[in-house]
Every structure is written in C-alpha cells, then in structure tokens.
Structure 1
Amino acid sequence: MLPLLQRQRLSLAILHGGICHREMLISWAAESLGLSYIVLLLSGLIGAMADDSSLLAMGFVIACSLPILRAKELSNKVNKRRQAIVMELPELLSRLLLMVNAGENVMRALARCMEQKQSSEHPLYMELSRAIEGLKRGESLAQALEEMGRRCAVPEVRLFATTVLINARRGGEAFVPALRELTRQMWEKRKSIARMLGEQASSRLAFPLAVIFLLIMVLVGAPTILMM
C-alpha cells in the first residue's frame, strides 16, 4: 500500500518539518484502517443484536469513507498551514524592511524578528527559528534559507529566500528595493487570500440562511393554511 500513500506521505512530511519516516506513514495508515475496523465491528454487533442487516451495510459505507475523510483532513491541515504562512509572511517582511532601513544587517534583523515572536507557535516563525539555529551551528546562509524554504513548502517563502541570497551576493544596495517589491507582492497575495476566505465563509452561510428562511416561511404560512 505504500506506493498508494505518496500524497499522504508528502502531507505528513510538510506537517512534520520536511521529514516523514516510513514508520510515521505506516502508523497513520494503521490508525485509519483501525478506525474503519472498529466502526465495521460495532455496526456488525449492533446489527446482529437488532437483527437488522441495514446497520451492517451502513457501517460498511462509513468504514470505507473514514480513510478518505482522514486523507481529506490531512490535506486541509496542509492547506491551512500554507495559508497561515502566506498570511504572516508580509508582516515578517515589513518588520525586516523596517530594520534593514534602520541600518541592521539581514541576519541580525531576522534574529530580532524571531525574538519578538519567540513564544509563537506559528509555522513560519518555527521554521525561521530552526534556520537561525542552523546558522548558529555553522551552516551557511544559503543552506539555512534553502532548508527553510523546503520545510515550509510554500513558493512565497522560497522566493523570499532566493531574494535574500541573490542580494546578499550582489551587495546591500539593491536589497532594500528588492525587499520592498517583494513585500508589496506578499501584501497583494495576502489580500487575495483574505478575499477568498471571505467568499468561502459567505458561501458556507448561504445554506443555513436558506434553511432559516424556509422555516420562517413555514411558520408564517402554516396558520394561514390551517385556517383555510
């Protein structure tokens, strides 16, 4: 079954710092199959006690759906993580741009940004903290930022890492305009994601509002119909 779980393995790797051991994937698959087995067993026992075979059929459908639902849940967690990183990245870039304009070099500015969010469990700052720890261990700037981009698995973070590396090699004169342009792009990206989330929220509210409207129509129209 391992070749069929490559997408789930990639999702688990994204959620666990870029690493997904075989045992982790097998544990996730075993948990999914175990839940399906428990549902099938319970539905079979209840169906046998009630002498109703339809309960077993219903349990079989639910048991088959559980692994698919867990895979969907895993994919949703990855999407939410990516959205959270993209939404927070403009804030980080704005603080970084402010500190660089004040005369700080890039690495000290990143370290100070990390100090301000040291207690945060946001995935972007967790990966930034790992990159700074790698620099303290002696890793090069290119290696630390490339690993950060790989662990985040977000194109915008990789673009940020590439911008920092290219301008670090060229010198500091072109870095501020490049960082300012990147910040502007990330704010536009954040606005588009905010609009998309707002549209999704409004579409989710449409069905409950329609149901409430129908209930009000029934409550208002029922007395009139009964009086006729």
Structure 2
Amino acid sequence: MLRKLAGIIYDMVEKHVDMDKTIQRIKRGYTCTDADARTKCRGVYVERISMILVVVLASVVLAVLLWGRTALRPETVVIDRPGYGGDKGTKTLETEVDGQKKQVNVDVLPIEYDESELEDVFDLGFTEIEEIYLGENESADCIQSDLDLPERLDDTGLDVAWISSDQDVVTSTGKLLKSDEGDAELVKLTAVLSYGEHSAEREYNIRVTGRVLDAGEKAEKAISDFVKNTQMENRASGRIELPSEIEGYSIEDTAGGSGAIPVIFLGIISAVCIWMGARAKLSKQEKERKQQLMIDYPELVDRLILYLGAGVTIRGSFVRMVQNDDESALMKELRYTLNEIQAGIPEGEAYYNMGHRINIPVYMKLMSMLSQNVSKGTKDIMIMMAGEEQAALQTRKELARKKGEEAGTRLLFPMIVLLGVVMVIVVLPAVMSF
C-alpha cells in the first residue's frame, strides 16, 4: 500500500524535478542502459519515499495520541505535594488577566500531620531514636565509641536537636571526647523533636498590610492564598485538585505540553535525513566504482598493448579480456561496449561512449585515442599506447602512495589507544604505590 503510494508520489515529483543528474550518477555507479538507470532511480527513490511515509505516518499518529491525551486530560489542575517534613516547592500556574496570559508561582507545601496526631508521631520518633542513638555501643551503661545522633528522622519527617549536659565528654553531635582514664561520668543527652511550629520553641507569623496591589499582583495573591489555604485544609492529602477558576481567574498548568510539535519536527527531520541518505548512498557507490576503475586502468593499458602488439584488433582485445568470469566494473563496461557494437553502434562511437560513461579523464583520453584509431586508422597507435603506458604506470604509483597514506591515517587511532594502554601500565603501579 505504502509502496504503491510512494510510486505515485515519485511519478508526480519526477514531472517537476530534473532526475537526469541522478540517472547519470547511477550509470556511473552501475553499468546499465538509460532505461535500466531510470528504472533503478525510480526503485531507489520509491524505497526512500516509502520509508519517509512510514516515519511521517508514525509521527502524525504519535502526535495525535499525545494531543488527544492532552485534550482529554481533566481541566482541574493537580498538585503533587512532598511527603511529611519535605521541603516547600513551587508550581507555576497560568491565568488570564485583562486578556493577557500571566504566570503565577504558588507555593507547594509538604503534607502535614494533624495536631491530634503529633503526640503519637513524637512517640514513634523517640522509639526510632532509642533504637539507633547508641551506635555501636551495646548498652547505655558502657559507652566506648561515638554515638549515632541523627539530626532528622526521614520516616516521620521530624527534625532532631541534641543537647549535651557536658560538651567536654560527649558533644551534641555524638562524638566521644573522654578517654578511658579516670572514673566514669554521667552525661545527660536531651533530644528535642520538632515538626513545623510544634517544638520546644515557638514562632509566630505576622501578616503585613502593604501597598495597593495592581491587577496582576491581586491575581497572583488570590491564587496563591487559595492554593495555600486549600493545602492547609487538606494537610494529609498527597494530591489536591484545583478548580479551573479561582476568584474569577482561570488557571492552567504550565508543566508539560502534549509533545505533538516536537514529534512532528523530529518526523520531518528524519524524512529529510532519509531522502539525503539516498543521495549519499549513490555518491558512495560512485566513489567506490571510480577507485576500482582507477586501480584496473594500468592493467587495461598493459593488456591492450600486449594484444595490439600481437596483431589483435581493439575489438578482439576487448573480447579476449571479457572471456573470464570477472564481474569488476571495468569488465562490465567492456561487455556493455561490445554489446553496443553488436547492436549496430559504430565501433569508434562505442569506444567514445565508454569513455564518457566512465567519466574519468584517463579513460576518456584512452577511449578517444581508440575511437580515433578506428575512425582514421592511425598508424602510430603503438607509440601513443606506449606513452599512455608510462602515464598508467605513474597513476599506479600515485594510487599506491595514496593507499599507503590512507592506511597510515587509519592506523593512527589504534596507535593512540595502544599508547593509552601503555601509559596506564606504566603509571598505574606508581600511583598504587603511594
């Protein structure tokens, strides 16, 4: 289904986009006729368009699901509060004042105990302290190591303050200062548990009437006070749902959108990458084919000189070269050229076509020379081929040098890795000896 749709899209695009350059690149990457190259071009891009359609379709479906999830989400705003004794947080809400969006930061208070529960909570806190405060000491009658005096009880959310009657013996942090010389001393440790305003010391909050608030500040205060009062009224509730409108101000949760737009954007980026990947693949194949043809060029010249020196015609030389089962790019080009000649194309024109099909300067020069020899019967073809042989030998040397340089570059990274390993072997014993 998608492949058929991709074919329709390609046919529509092909009418408005010049594919001749792509077809020529395919012919340089593969040995084929114009019709085969056009068919192969269509197959390559239909496959790519199919992949693009899959990515775009998946992106749209995911975006719709995310948008639907956001649309179906209840209009009430939910606040997730920290546990008992947790830190006060902040949540950003959005309201509309005079037709303009305004963000309001409200305090998110932790869950609180009811006053009637505090006595039992403090009992639990002291029970927990009695289980751990001795630390590694076996009993309170024989203290020989530091005490474990916690400053906070996470399970109950209580803060702990310690008071030592003798700081020279045991500090309020539980550190043991007295040595084992002399008589044992009695030290009284006092643990003070506190939770919010309920502790040995109390503090009072005051409310200050200040300057007249503008519309935005009134909205912020109204929403903040409402959220705070709601949390105070529901001290033990972990989640609080807020109405969609507070004191005449509509509120929205600014945390987390649907995520549909980023998904669509990523889908478009992926589609572009897939489309560009088709061109990159053709370029890579063209480059590899060109390298192989350059490697085979010196051998082609040597064999041509050998056959021509033995009195064999150029066409006969090509026939003898393609008799083996070699499927290299050069052999395919030679077979293609022989097929053109058998199909009725003049021999000189077939050689000329081969040079321009390969589109490499040395091949274009050689094929033009062979074409001229067939058309005009040049007598000094062997002298010209001898000069071409010298050029081919130089080309072979340059290719060998280039391959050597590339090999050296590829070996650079393994050498760096080995150097790092050697450095670790040399330095690690010295570091461990300290």
Matched, 1:167 2:363: no
Q: What SS does structure 2 have at the residue aligned with 1:139?
A: coil
Deviations 1:112-170 (A, max 9, x none): 2222xx31101111111121122223321122112222332222222111111223344
The equivalent of 1:100 in structure 2 is: 308
Q: CA deviation at 1:214?
A: 1.0
Identity of aligned residues (%): 21
The C-alpha deviation readout for 1:60-80, integer Å capped at 9, x for no partner, is: 677754544453332121111
- What is residue 88 of structure 1 aligned with on the other side? 296
Q: CA RMSD in A?
A: 3.2
Q: Which has the larger share of helix?
A: 1
Letter in 2 for 1:144: A
Higher strand share: 2
State yes or no: 1:206 paired with 2:421: no
Give TM-score, length-normalised by structure 2.
0.44
Contact 2:298 2:396 in 1 (8 A): yes
Contact 1:168 1:175 in 2 (8 A): no
Aligned amino acid, residue 137 of structure 1: A
Of the three residues 13, 27, 30, the one matched with 1:13 is 27
Contact 2:48 2:278 (C-alpha < 8 Å) held by counterparts: yes
Structure 1 Cα separation of the partners of residues 18 and 422 of structure 2: 49
Note if 1:75 corresponds to 2:283: yes
Q: Distance in 1 between matches of 2:33 and 2:406?
A: 29
C-alpha separation in 1, matches of 2:43 and 2:358? 23
How many residue pairs align between the two structures?
A: 217
Q: 1:216 to 1:144 in 2, by over 3 A?
A: same
Task: Tell whether 2:44 aligns with 1:28.
Answer: yes
Shift of the 6–216 alpha-carbon distance from structure 1 to 2, 3 Å rule, reads: farther
Matches within 5 A, 1:43-54: none
Does residue 136 of the first structure (1) align with residue 152 of the second (2)? no
Larger radius of gyration: 2
For 1:108, give the aligned amino acid: G
1:196 paired to 2:402 = yes
Separation of aligned partners in 1, 2:432 and 2:18: 59
Check the 8 A contact 1:18/1:150 in 2, yes or no: no
Displacement of 1:185:
1.0
The runs of 5 or more residues in structure 2 that have no matched partner are 1-12, 67-258
Can you list the C-alpha shifts for 1:75-113, whole angstroms capped at 9, x where unaligned?
A: 121111011112112112111111211222222222222
